[in-house]
Amino acid sequence: MGFLNCLGPRAIVSVLALSSLAHDVFARPSPEPKVPRIKGPGKAPGKRKMADSIKRAIAGNRRADVPDCAETTTTTITAPKANPWSPLTNEETATVVTWLFAQEDLNLTTTADAGSWDNTITLIEAMWPNKTDVLAYLDLNATAPTKYAHVVLNNMATEDAHYADIIVGPLPIDNVTTTWEPLSYPFTKKSGGTVRNLDADSDTLYVDWIYPISASIADITLDLWNASALGFDNDTLTIWGIDPQWQDDGRIIRWDAFWNVPSDEFDSSTLLPLGLYICSDVTGRDPSQWKFEGLLYNDIFYETIEDFRTAYWSPGFVKNPANINGDWSNTDQLGDIPAMDTAAPPVQVAPAGSRYAVDAEQKYVEWMDFSFYIGFTRDTGMALHDIRYKGERILYELSLQEALAHYAGNDPMQSGTAYLDTFYGFGPYAFQLVPGYDCPTHATYLNSSFYVEETCHTHIGSICLFEFDADYAIQRHSTSGYISITKNTYFTVRYVATVGNYDYTFSYSFYMDGSMAVEVRASGYIQSAYFANNQDYGFHIHDALSGSMHDHVLNFKADFDILGTGNSVQLVSLVPTTTSYSWSKGKARNTMKLERSFIETEDDGQFDWGPNGATQVIVVNENATNAYGEMRGYRILPFTGTAHLTVLNSSNLVNAAKWAEHDISVTKQKDTEPRSAHAFNSQDVWDPPVDFAKFFDCEPLRNEDIVLWLNLGMHHIPHSGDLPNTVMTTAHSGIQFMPSNYFAGDQSRRTVNQVRIDYANGSTTAVNSFGQYNVSSADATCKPDYTPVDGNLWAYTGDIVVRKFPFDPNNPFFETDSIV
Ligand SMILES: *[C@@H]1O[C@H](CO)[C@@H](O)[C@H](O)[C@H]1NC(C)=O
Ligand SMILES: *[C@@H]1O[C@H](CO)[C@@H](O)[C@H](O)[C@H]1NC(C)=O
Ligand SMILES: *[C@@H]1O[C@H](CO)[C@@H](O)[C@H](O)[C@H]1NC(C)=O
Ligand SMILES: *[C@@H]1O[C@H](CO)[C@@H](O)[C@H](O)[C@H]1NC(C)=O
Ligand SMILES: *[C@@H]1O[C@H](CO)[C@@H](O)[C@H](O)[C@H]1NC(C)=O
Ligand SMILES: *[C@@H]1O[C@H](CO)[C@@H](O)[C@H](O)[C@H]1NC(C)=O
Ligand SMILES: *[C@@H]1O[C@H](CO)[C@@H](O)[C@H](O)[C@H]1NC(C)=O
Ligand SMILES: *[C@@H]1O[C@H](CO)[C@@H](O)[C@H](O)[C@H]1NC(C)=O
Ligand SMILES: *[C@@H]1O[C@H](CO)[C@@H](O)[C@H](O)[C@H]1NC(C)=O
Ligand SMILES: *[C@@H]1O[C@H](CO)[C@@H](O)[C@H](O)[C@H]1NC(C)=O
Ligand SMILES: CC(=O)N[C@H]1CO[C@H](CO)[C@@H](O)[C@@H]1O
Ligand SMILES: [Cu+2]
């Protein structure tokens, strides 16, 4: 890992290997509950554990010693079925590793011993079962889907270095029936599940290629910046470049940029570009065939180092200033403290403990009438499955697919950058959350795990679940005689992934009216540009710094199953119209009306939010109508801004991110199309493993099992307020799913946490609080505890690592790696 300092915010292979992970091990499968679960409103007997002291208080009805309600912080529950998306257990992963090493045809080397001409295991994780099999298991009492392991091999013991997706199973492993085969059915590229690896020679690249170049111009870098990159730990420059590598005319072209190394402990390197770029043709695995293609400084291109040196030491050469770290790039408290800021700020508490129930082992959650399972993968982090309301499935799957950050600029570094972040993976960078900051201290925290280099890493407390009291009511109305108002208490499941320079906060929220929200917020260090000649691509935000413009686009899969799998997408548009009516005495009136239509086939399956928000997009079940003949459904609507990619037919990405081009895409659900992207799409942008455009093959979309692919995103033009870090108040995108004629009325009427206050002649005449919890009332069973808890910030640990080959569960160690 000696190269860590030289590598870009994301672009590195020695670390890729490390980050090429899978999850595993939250849980051993637990036996299914023996008694059928009772669903529906009210309490399912025996479902929740009640603290003994609460039971005592109820039995004795003694007000004097009522216990704290919050005694049980997380209510436990048993999942109705074992989670079909659960990770492999520690033992399963260990047996798969052992079995793989025993397969001579795979010719594997352990990662610790491997060089750039060896085959290694990049990933082992559970293969998510086909929807067909899961529905049979969940809905028809079929046996649980057979478990398989999804394995990714990094086959570098060949001229044609490539990644290979394979499937190993069935599990548990036995030496007779277990086999492996190439995995290609989930991908559009039918290549036996392989894609080339453009980073196979990254070790050689730095030692034998980049450093010799930077050393050869050390006279210039020292003169310009008093800094050099010679390949030592004490280097004062770092060099890293574009991602994906430029893929054109069969050539693989790198552009690498020089960046200052921060002189303090802050991770501000992406704010310190120096405006010098080198270009190399690194096609193929033979470094003797690689070619230096030129160098760019101040928008002047030099074909050789000699040309540059001659120009540099000539009179009149224009030298631009450097970006140097300082207080401006440091995130600690700085500047005059705002008035009253040192007093304790408001805080939320859960006075009655959790009002939701969690099966931590199966990762199954119930809150009010919602329930869902949590899945977790190396590529895309946390996913939600089988989201139900009162036992009726609404979504089969709700999950991140890919996150794109597409830059542009006058220089080849910014112009060449279009990060596809699942290459690095969200799972491995979902670090421990900070209680009281990322999530409330009263939240429930779950672990996540992933495989890397023959070890399993566990990130403790990396997923949080909590209820929150919104800062606005969900309902209110007042008259001359009464006011009716309802609390907006909602439930959120959240995780945060730091992928290189950026920290993404993903939140999935559930509301009392049956609506849901998906939100992403971003913070962290921007990737900035050198300011010279970049006026058309960003604001000038610091001494020699441009806030490099870029689009964030994050694709989510929303596999709706509204009252069954036969669903349609209805569009209801407000349109201006000129119409006469029977009563308008022949005079036309300029007004508006509704137009309803359906997305008939995949040919019409890609579209954008219309202008003026005039078109509602509703997933309906045409065969499930309400009492008035309207189709029951869920509407999809932007919550805060969303965005799709501004660039048309991106030269950087070609076919690798076709999902980014529209706000909404609709396809027919197919077991062969589980994901809109692949972690290694960046390795072959012309012929990527998953080309989303190929999903669109005229399939009918009426009364079919349909999947919506929805983009969140933001056109990010960083301004001075993005320094030192982007802030999550405004770096925010969200989408909502709201019931549309789905229920007979608003479901939030069912909560007791509302009040009607009657008044007359200047005074209150009645308060109806509907039996909501009231500690002063005679039948209060416990005493709410409003004392805020300080998060224990000294309990922050980093990840726990357990060796899998040889398997050593009793000897864990600690090691936290980030991409930067
Ligand atoms: C197996 O891998 C080694 C490098 O680890 C390589 O030298 C050897 O040629 C490979 N064998 C085959 C049959 O590919
Ligand atoms: C599945 O099993 C449960 C419990 O035994 C039973 O109540 C239910 O009717 C079964 N469902 C089907 C579709 O067979
Ligand atoms: C399978 O074979 C390997 C190597 O021969 C052996 O170590 C392992 O115990 C066997 N596993 C089972 C389940 O028989
Ligand atoms: C140049 O850098 C060296 C250390 O890398 C430092 O000791 C020296 O003071 C610097 N010179 C100037 C002029 O900043
Ligand atoms: C940096 O490290 C190299 C190799 O260890 C050493 O030769 C050199 O003197 C060091 N430079 C400075 C400025 O410490
Ligand atoms: C998370 O992992 C830690 C350490 O292994 C363990 O003590 C804890 O019980 C786990 N938490 C959950 C919710 O499984
Ligand atoms: C997209 O651009 C590529 C070149 O980068 C070109 O070959 C292709 O025809 C373009 N496709 C469309 C639909 O414009
Ligand atoms: C899942 O579906 C694909 C595509 O139909 C099929 O090739 C594959 O065998 C299925 N997997 C299992 C475990 O049945
Ligand atoms: C309010 O005051 C008016 C006039 O004094 C009286 O007629 C009316 O009954 C009062 N209403 C109530 C609800 O007390
Ligand atoms: C709580 O109960 C007390 C005693 O019965 C009553 O005076 C008070 O109004 C109640 N508060 C609410 C909000 O209902
Ligand atoms: C299973 C079923 O009843 N399907 C019907 C759903 O509604 C469409 C359109 O009204 C009919 O064509 C299907 O036959
Ligand atoms: Cu940004």
Q: What is the pLDDT of residues 274-283, one digit of tens each?
A: 999 999 999 9
pLDDT at 105: 96
Mean pLDDT of all residues in 565-575: 98
Of 817, 803, 820, which Cα lies nearest the Cα of 110? 803
pLDDT category of residue 413 using cuts at 50, 70 and 90: very high
Specify if 378 maps to a domain.
Answer: no
Terminal CA-CA length for the chain: 12
For residue 784, the model assigns a pLDDT of 85
Q: Which pLDDT value is given to residue 709? A: 98
Residues 9 and 67 in one domain: yes
Instruction: Express each pLDDT in 579-613 by its tens digit.
Output: 999 999 999 999 999 999 999 999 999 999 999 99
Domain of residue 129, residue span: 90-183
Q: Nearest residue CA, atom 7 of ligand 7?
A: 654
CA–CA distance from 154 to each of 180, 345, 408 (Å)? 15, 50, 31
Length of the chain: 820
User: Which stretch of 45-49, 77-81, 108-112 has the lowest confidence by average pLDDT?
Assistant: 45-49
Residue 47 has pLDDT above 60, yes or no: no
pLDDT of residue 640: 87
- Identify the CA nearest to 100 among candidates 173, 25, 170, 20: 173
pLDDT at 418: 98
- Give me the number of domains the chain comprises: 2
Please tell me the predicted confidence (pLDDT) of residue 795. Answer: 85
Lowest mean pLDDT among 493-497, 673-677, 815-819: 815-819
Indicate the DSSP class of residue 452: E
Cβ-count burial 572-601 (b if 16+ within 10 Å, e if not): beeeeeeeeeeeeeeeeeeeeeeeeeebeb
DSSP string across 643-654: ---SSSS-TTTT
pLDDT reported for residue 788: 85
- Give 79's contacts (C-beta < 8 A, 6+ positions apart): 30, 359, 362, 364, 373
* Range among 68-72, 192-196, 683-687, 779-783 with highest mean pLDDT value: 683-687
Contact 468, 506 (CB under 8 A): no
- Between 11-15, 165-169, 199-203, 442-446, the lowest mean confidence (pLDDT) is in 11-15
CA–CA dist 52, 269 (Å, integer) = 55
- Regarding whether 54 and 94 lie in a shared domain, the answer is no
Closest residue by Cα to residue 576 from 610, 549, 606, 526: 610
Show which of 136, 168, 183 is a domain's final residue. 183
Q: Is 139 a catalytic residue?
A: no
Q: What residues contact residue 174 under an 8 Å CB cut-off, 6+ apart?
A: none
User: Is 59 in the same domain as 103?
Assistant: no
Please tell me the residue having the least CA distance from ligand 7 atom 10.
649
Residues 125 and 69 in one domain: no
CB 599 within 8 A of CB 568: yes
Q: Which of 498, 519, 508, 432 is nearest to 465 (CA)?
A: 508
Which pLDDT score is estimated for 49?
A: 38
Q: What is the pLDDT of residues 642-690, one digit of tens each?
A: 999 999 999 999 999 999 999 999 999 999 999 999 999 999 999 999 9
SS3 content of the chain, % helix, strand, coil (to 5): 15, 35, 45
Cβ of residue 768 lying under 6 Å from some atom of ligand 10: no
The answer to the question of residue 16 being in a domain is yes
Residue 7 has pLDDT above 50, yes or no: no
3-state DSSP call for residue 481? coil
Instruction: Give the CATH number, domain containing residue 109.
Output: 3.10.450.40
End position of a domain, from candidates 163, 183, 203: 183
Q: Is 502 a catalytic residue?
A: yes
Burial class, 314, CB count within 10 angstroms (exposed 0-12 / middle 13-18 / buried 19+): exposed
Ligand 4 centroid to Cα of residue 226, in Å, is 6
The answer as to whether 561 is a domain residue is no
Whole-number Å distance, alpha carbon 16 to ligand 5 midpoint, is: 28
Q: How many CB atoms lie within 10 A of CB 220?
A: 20
Render the burial of 605-619: b for 16+ CB within 10 Å, e for the rest: bbbebeeeeebbbbb
- Which neighbouring-strand residues pair with 155? 119, 162
Q: Which two tokens stand for residue 257?
A: 């940029």
460 Cβ below 6 A of ligand 6: yes
What per-residue confidence (pLDDT) applies to 589? Answer: 96
Closest CA to 173 of 106, 119, 98: 98
- Any idea which residue has 């692949």 for tokens? 678
pLDDT tens-digit profile of 105-143? 999 999 999 999 999 999 999 999 999 999 999 999 999
Backbone angles phi, psi at 801, to 5 degrees: -115, 135
End residue of a domain, out of 150, 165, 183? 183
Q: Is residue 628 part of a domain?
A: no
Interval between CA 6 and ligand 5 midpoint (Å): 16
What was the pLDDT predicted at 801?
A: 80
Q: Are 94 and 174 part of one and the same domain?
A: yes
185 alpha carbon – ligand 8 mean position (Å): 7
Question: Does 11 share its domain with 49?
Answer: yes
Kindly state if the Cβ of 462 falls inside 6 Å of ligand 6. Answer: no
CA angle 392, 747, 439 (to 5 degrees): 85
Q: β-pairing, 545-548 with 529-530?
A: antiparallel
Same domain, 126 and 178: yes
Distance CA(623)–CA(564), nearest Å, equals 10
* 795, part of any domain: yes
Over 70: is that where the pLDDT of 22 sits?
no
Residue 124 lies in a domain: yes
Residue bearing the bigger pLDDT, 49 or 669: 669
Give the single-character DSSP code of 206: I
Q: Is the CB of 582 under 6 A from ligand 5?
A: no
pLDDT of residue 807: 76
Looking at the structure, tell me whether residues 41 and 104 fall in a common domain. no
Looking at residue 58, its pLDDT comes to 36
Residues 165 and 118 both lie in one domain: yes
**pLDDT, average across residues 742-758:** 97
One domain for residues 143 and 67: no
Higher pLDDT, 39 or 375: 375
Among all bound ligands, the one having the nearest atom to the CA of 757 is: 10
Higher-pLDDT residue of 792, 12: 792
**pLDDT average, residue stretch 191-203:** 92
In a domain, 31, yes or no: yes
pLDDT of amino acid 699: 97
Residue type for position 784: P
CB neighbours (10 Å) of residue 485? Answer: 14
- The DSSP output letter for 205 is I
pLDDT digits (tens, 9 = 90+) for 90-104: 899 999 999 999 999
Q: Which position among 206, 211, 502, 504 bears the catalytic label?
A: 502
The preferred substitution site among 5, 234, 237 for testing ligand 5, maximizing ligand atoms within 8 Å of CB, is: 234
Question: Parallel, antiparallel, or unpaired: how do β-strands 807-814 and 800-804 relate?
Answer: antiparallel
- In DSSP terms, 601 is beta-bridged to 700
What percent of the chain clears pLDDT 70, i.e. is strictly above it?
91
For the residues 483-503, what does the mean pLDDT come to? 96
Per-residue pLDDT tens over the stretch 250-270: 999 999 999 999 999 999 999
Q: Which amino acid is at 813?
A: F
What is the band of 12 on the pLDDT scale with cuts at 50, 70, 90? very low
Write down the catalytic residue from 165, 267, 421, 513.
Answer: 421
Q: Are 391 and 666 in contact (CB under 8 A)?
A: no
| pLDDT tens per residue, range 505-537 | 999 999 999 999 999 999 999 999 999 999 999
Half-sphere exposure of 290 toward its Cβ, with a 13 Å CA cutoff? Answer: 21
Residue 97 and residue 169 in one domain: yes
In a mutational test of the pocket of ligand 7, which residue from 649, 651, 691 has the highest number of ligand atoms less than 8 Å from its CB?
A: 649
The verdict on the CB of residue 226 being under 6 Å from ligand 4 is yes
Q: Is 158 in the pocket of ligand 7 (CB under 6 A)?
A: no
- Residue 133: per-residue pLDDT: 97
pTM (2 d.p.): 0.91
Q: Which residues pair with 253 in a beta bridge?
A: 246, 281
* 118 and 145 inside one domain: yes
Q: Let me know the angle formed at the C-alpha of 807 by 805 and 808, rounded to the nearest 5 degrees.
A: 125
The pLDDT assigned to 789 comes to: 83
Instruction: Report how far Cα 474 is from the mean position of its chain's Cα atoms.
Output: 28
In a domain, 155, yes or no: yes
The pLDDT tens digits for 314-342 are 999 999 999 999 999 999 999 999 999 99
The rounded mean pLDDT for the chain is 90
Q: Is 520:732 a contact under the CB 8 Å cutoff?
A: yes
- From 757, 758, 761, 763, the mutation candidate for ligand 9 (largest count of ligand atoms within 8 A of CB) is 761
> What are 372-386's pLDDT values in tens digits?
999 999 999 999 999
